[in-house]
Amino acid sequence: MNRLKVVVLFGGMSTEYQVSLQSAAAVIDNIAYDKYEVMCIGITEEGKWLHYVGDIQRIRDDSWHQVESCRAAIFNVDRSQPGIMLLGEDGRYQHIHVDCVFPVLHGKNGEDGTVQGLLQLSGIPYVGCDTKSSAVSMDKVFAQDLVKSAGIATTDYFYVTKYTYDDKRIDSLIKKSFGYPIFVKPSSSGSSVGITKVYDATSLDQAVQHAFKFDGKVICEKEVRGIEVGCAVYGNVELATGVIGEIEPSRDFLDYDDKYLLGEIKQHVPARISLALLEEVRQRGMEVYRILGCMGMSRVDFFITPEGEILFNEINTMPGFTASSRYPAMIAAAGISYSDLIDRLIELARE
């Protein structure tokens, strides 16, 4: 049987670079090599695109780009020859045909439609959402506004930009709208990067300025008392989901280090809610997926209040993808192994 040539794309100029390395290593470790010929293309934090051949551990510990055999690689945007242009030892670029790309990239410059646009121009099938849905879903304000306009309940929020920000006016608006505490977040960032919990006006400006380091648009969101659940959705036209999962944090608020470096999250799959709520979250997750025009896969996150109200929180078009990450764990609970999930996502990319 002829194997499909699949490029696993990892790294990137993103604050979530390290998360991408761990996710990609898991994909490379679990993909079915009897079906696929795997080619690894890494993007350094400085933006160099390199073909990497070597041990998976070097990806995990971020020493992959130090390997001397790494060669420059770029996607060929000539749609008549979809594939990779690889720099050879003779200084010439060699064209290599590619059947599918799995962009295991998180955050800006990877999950936000930029790479997806490049791949669409190249005519290469790729795993995940298209350019438009990736860009819209990455921006919390755009996603919240679209979902809310479709009649789905969301958290209470407003946003400010670097050009309109006035700390006294924002403090007044918070007090009039929903009061403290609030969460201040970069609008286009994931993995809890740049997020601060603000209890009163004294720390508001510092939190907003911190979020502005990651994005020019910042969302101020009312704290929701309740539990956080996620719905793992996959498919293009016909959709399916994993089992609804719940996050049990070890303390009040978890930042990036807590989630990804210290592992301060406990998952419950299925979530500890009624069967009726489990099904309602599942249906709501697929509805949000369709509203935002998603394809391939996404994880849709909600809050459930003590009164049982389901509130849309955010969507991740390329969620954490290690074997123990939330998305694969929810899919596994539905009886689909990690390797089979990779198969299905590649099939969806090539439909």
Question: In the predicted model, what is the mean pLDDT of the chain?
Answer: 93
pLDDT band of residue 89 (cuts 50, 70, 90) is: confident
- Tokens in use for 32? 């079915």
Average pLDDT over residues 322-329: 91
Residues placed in the known binding site for Mg(2+): 301, 314, 316
Whole-number Å distance between alpha carbons of 345 and 6: 12
Q: Is the peptide bond before 319 cis (omega within 30 degrees of 0)?
A: no
Per-residue model confidence (pLDDT) at position 309: 97
Residues of the chain with CATH 3.30.1490.20: 157-222
pLDDT band of residue 262 (cuts 50, 70, 90) is: very low
pTM confidence score: 0.94
Top-level class of domain 157-222: alpha beta
pLDDT at 86 over 70: yes
Q: Which residue has the higher pLDDT, 120 or 249?
A: 120
Whole-number Å distance between alpha carbons of 285 and 152: 10
pLDDT at 228 over 90: yes
The percentage of residues in the chain with a pLDDT greater than 70, rounded to a whole number, is 95
Tell me phi and psi for residue 340, to 5 degrees: -65, -35
325 catalytic? Reply is yes
191 catalytic? Reply is yes
pLDDT band of residue 167 (cuts 50, 70, 90) is: confident
Q: Which amino acid appears at position 96 of this protein?
A: I
CATH number of 136-154+225-349: 3.30.470.20
Catalytic position from the list 16, 111, 246, 287: 16
At 92-102, the pLDDT tens digits run 999 999 999 99
At 190-220, the pLDDT tens digits run 657 889 999 999 999 999 999 999 999 999 9
Per-residue model confidence (pLDDT) at position 51: 98
Tell me phi and psi for residue 328, to 5 degrees: -60, -35
Residue for token digits 């016909």?
Answer: 238
Catalytic position from the list 122, 188, 189, 325: 325
At 3-24, the pLDDT tens digits run 999 999 999 999 999 999 999 9
pLDDT band of residue 61 (cuts 50, 70, 90) is: very high
Residues of the chain with CATH 3.40.50.20: 4-126
Per-residue model confidence (pLDDT) at position 158: 92
At 342-351, the pLDDT tens digits run 999 999 999 9
**CB-CB contact of 6 with 83 (8 Å):** no
At 64-81, the pLDDT tens digits run 999 999 999 999 998 988
Residues placed in the known binding site for ATP: 140, 183-185, 191-192, 221-228, 313-314
Number of separate helices (H) and strands (E) present in the chain: 11, 17
Per-residue model confidence (pLDDT) at position 264: 59
Catalytic position from the list 111, 191, 246, 298: 191
At 103-119, the pLDDT tens digits run 999 999 999 999 999 99
Whole-number Å distance between alpha carbons of 61 and 66: 11
H or E element, residue 342: helix 338-349
pLDDT band of residue 257 (cuts 50, 70, 90) is: low
Per-residue model confidence (pLDDT) at position 285: 99
All residues at 6 or more sequence positions from 267 whose CB lies less than 8 Å from its CB, including other chains: 245, 246, 247, 248, 326, 329
Per-residue model confidence (pLDDT) at position 254: 60
Per-residue exposure over 136-175, b if at least 16 CB sit within 10 Å of its own CB, e if not: bbbbbbbbbebbeeeebebbebbbbeeeeeeeeebbeebe
Top-level class of domain 4-126: alpha beta
Three-class SS state of 90: coil
Residues placed in the known binding site: 140, 183-185, 191-192, 221-228, 301, 313-314, 316
User: How far is residue 334 from each of residues 112, 188, 283, measured CA to CA in Å?
Assistant: 28, 31, 15
